[in-house]
Amino acid sequence: MPNSSLFIPVILGTPRQGRQSEHVAKFIVEQVAARDRLETELIDIRNIAIANDDAGESLKDPQFSATMERADGLIIVTPEYNHGYPGLLKHILDTCLKEYIHKAVGLCGVSAGPFGGTRVIQNLLPVMRELGLVTIFYDLNFSNVQKLFDESGDLIDKPTYIRRMDRFMDELVWMSSVLKYGRQEVSLENKDSN
């Protein structure tokens, strides 16, 4: 198991025009892809065609569902909008259920203000639990995001954020590996019927 690879996609959780969180998501994908035995892809919720006349699994997008089923862990990059998360992110996340069970998730908050999306992460924690995801204990926060990237979308203070990313990824990889092992090797069924 220690040598097996992991698939950890990154979900960009806003469809808005001019979104600064897109730079953050691209930086994170770049960092995940640079690690040994990790595979990733960027899932931009802007590109998921989803109806708004129903809810939950009845709206399941086959490609998103298959990607979530294949994933060993997830990273969600989301901006903080009015102390909360984007509605479309929640709408899309709710289309899957069994695909998430016992998988690790790392949360990355993005904010134009000084708190780096702390409030959006706090608001997402109960949602993650209800979906069956296991949150890692270390979050990534990108405060004052409009000042963090240059005109071409490159992170200005890369060394600081690479250090933070390394700590975040070490925990996410560990948790994803342990949970993958558990899903493959440990049955939840009670074998003892006494």
Q: What is the 3-state secondary structure (H, E, C) of the chain?
A: CCCCCEECCEEECCCCCCCCHHHHHHHHHHHHHCCCCEECCEEEHHHCCCCCCCCHHHHCCHHHHHHHHHCCEEEEEEECECCECCHHHHHHHCCCCHHHCCEEEEEEEECCCCCCCHHHHHHHHHHHHHHCEEECCCCEEECCHHHCECCCCCECCHHHHHHHHHHHHHHHHHHHHHHHHHHHHCCCCCCCCC
Give the per-residue pLDDT at 57. 85
Residue ranges for the chain with pLDDT beneath 70: 1-3, 190-194
Give the per-residue pLDDT at 54. 80
Look up tokens 């600081």; give the residue: 160
Give the per-residue pLDDT at 5. 95
Measured CA to CA, the distance from residue 99 to residue 74 in angstroms comes to 11
Give the per-residue pLDDT at 1. 46
Q: How many C-beta atoms lie closer than 10 Å to residue 121's C-beta?
A: 22
